Structure 1
């Protein structure tokens, strides 16, 4: 069996030194669509090194995303990339991410869930620098065709959907070249660039990275609900419910209250098809 849950969970954690500088942060922000309008002071916080702040979702690509890639090559995991989708992501911040940094990432398989027709790998990375913990991230990786081994199904409890009209709604167009730019931050999976590979995975054209939609949604929350202050974010959880194709428009709805912002993201051109769901930003 390509996935051996006991062996994967028992594997030694992998430690790697990661580093980044302002250019990595700026490239990531540009990959999310930041910088429009280019001279807007609110956008210069993401694009100009003298004013730079780091969106917390940068944690998913810091060090070129080596924590995620390494988790797919641990003992007990032997899978085909065409069967892999990113199912969900959580980032918990211990303090704001600096624009320039060096840290140690310790990653491991925290859980393997049996969903019948698929398996879900939970890849956990704990990152700290000389001053202490920076962030903890959990990536839920959905592997088609690898379930049915009789393992723990994991939790199936989902939060109730938000009720009432959203407090804020914004629409963000995904540029035609956005996946090509975003992938330069580390996720070079050809699913997001190569039409032939996308066809093998069952798509008629390359799709946008789920983590790009994830970052776009968080940026919308920071900019519209949190006054542009990335330091207020404490955690960010989302589940990926559908694909996004470059050229589409994302409709991002936000419900704020009690130190949390509930978020729903849909694809406008496909009758508001759900894209990112079960999404919560916890903040100060």
Structure 2
């Protein structure tokens, strides 16, 4: 059996030291489309070392994180990379991420769920430095064709939207080369660069990384709702409802309250096709 759920969950956590510096942070932000306009004071907080702050979603790539591609080599899991899709993601930061740092990161398979036509592998990663916990990531990885093994179905990550018009709507353009730039932060899955590999996975061209769309969305919330103060963000979660392609325009709808924003993302050129749903940004 390609996935041995019991063996995968029982495996010892994988622990490794990671490090990052301002260039890693700047590259990540640029991969999200930051820096447009280049001299805008708000954008300089993402691109200029003397003003730099760190978007919490950087936790998904710190130390060249590669949860989606790395899942194929975990204990108890023997699957093809082309069958893997990112289903959902959450990040909780325990304090602002420093511009430069070292940490110990520990990751494990927290659960394996049976969705019938697919299996869902839940990867949980925690990082801490000398001052204590930094962040906790949780990735839900869908593996097509590997369900039906009789396991628990698992909880739903979806929720209903407010029954009123959004408080804010912004649009963000995805550059043609954005996936090529974003992958330099550590996710080398050829699905995002190689047309032949994308065709094997059922797409007519390479798609944008789901985590790139996720980071773009959280940045949009920070810039629109929080006046760019990323230090206020405590947690952010999303469900990948569809795909985005380089060259498209993303419509980001936000319902903002005192301590959280509910968000959806859709592709304008494809008639509002869903890209992210059940997205929540929590802040102070």
Q: How does 1:1-284 map to 2 (within 5 A)?
A: 1-66=1-66, 69-156=69-156, 158-284=158-284
Please give the per-residue CA displacement for 1:110-162, whole angstroms capped at 9, x wherever unaligned: 00000000000000000000000000000000000000000000013631122
Distance 1:70 1:131 in 2: 28
Contact 1:5/1:76 (<8 A) preserved: yes
Distance 2:235 2:157 in 1: 19
Q: What SS does the aligned partner of 1:235 have?
A: strand
Q: What RMSD, in angstroms, separates the aligned Cα atoms of the two structures?
A: 1.0
TM-score by length of 2: 0.98
**Count of residues in correspondence between the two structures:** 284
Contact 1:173/1:247 (<8 A) preserved: yes
Contact 2:157/2:278 (<8 A) preserved: no
The structural deviation recorded for 1:74 is 1.7
TM-score by length of 1: 0.98
Structure 1 unaligned residues grouped into runs of 5+: none
The structural deviation recorded for 1:67 is 5.3
Please give the per-residue CA displacement for 1:12-68, whole angstroms capped at 9, x wherever unaligned: 000000100000000000000000000000000000001000000000000000555
Q: Relative to structure 2, which stretch is displaced further, 161-170 or 207-216?
A: 161-170
